[in-house]
Amino acid sequence: MKTTALSEADGIANGRRASRRLRTALLGLTLAVVAASASAMSIRELRALEASDKDQGVLYVQYYLVGAMEGMLEASAQQARSGGKPSICPNGRKLEPRMAKPLYDGELRRNAGLYEADMPVQLVLLNAMVAAYAC
């Protein structure tokens, strides 16, 4: 009789732990999704940032674009390392941080009717990099 009571108590405790782990996992997943969507900056927001402070705004925009560019390059390299086809292939050509803003601006000029102000900056930059460094 005692063994059955202990087994039931253990089962209840294990069920609570599993429930807690599931809630923690769901919370973590929710936070990851929110963080990912919150991190994308729109074209409008980037323009406002650039105009906000003539000296610092331009630097912030440059840093943001360089970070986005480096992230895309790393994602493409990871895709290649895992056996997939990379989307960006510099093929020995230089791709320097100072090139991020001209690539971005050039893509916006070439395809002015394609992009809306609420679209993410990363979309514009990715399209620019895929066009300039096609595989």
For the question of whether the overall pTM of this predicted structure is more than 0.75, the answer is no
- Percentage of residues in the chain having pLDDT higher than 70: 71
User: Tens digit of pLDDT for each residue in 75-98?
Assistant: 999 999 999 999 999 888 888 999
Instruction: Give the model's pLDDT for residue 25.
Output: 47
Q: Is the pLDDT of residue 103 over 50?
A: yes
CA distance 51 to 15: 55
- As beta bridge partners, residue 22 has none
User: Tens digit of pLDDT for each residue in 6-52?
Assistant: 566 666 666 666 555 545 544 444 444 444 445 689 999 999 999 98
Higher pLDDT, 35 or 120: 120
Which residues 6+ apart lie within 8 Å of 133 measured at CB?
88, 89, 90, 91, 93, 95
- As beta bridge partners, residue 120 has 42
Q: pLDDT-based confidence at 110, cuts 50/70/90? A: very high
Higher pLDDT, 53 or 122: 122
| Average pLDDT estimate for 56-71 | 93
Percent of residues in the chain assigned helix, strand, coil, to nearest 5: 75, 0, 25
Which residues 6+ apart lie within 8 Å of 51 measured at CB?
57
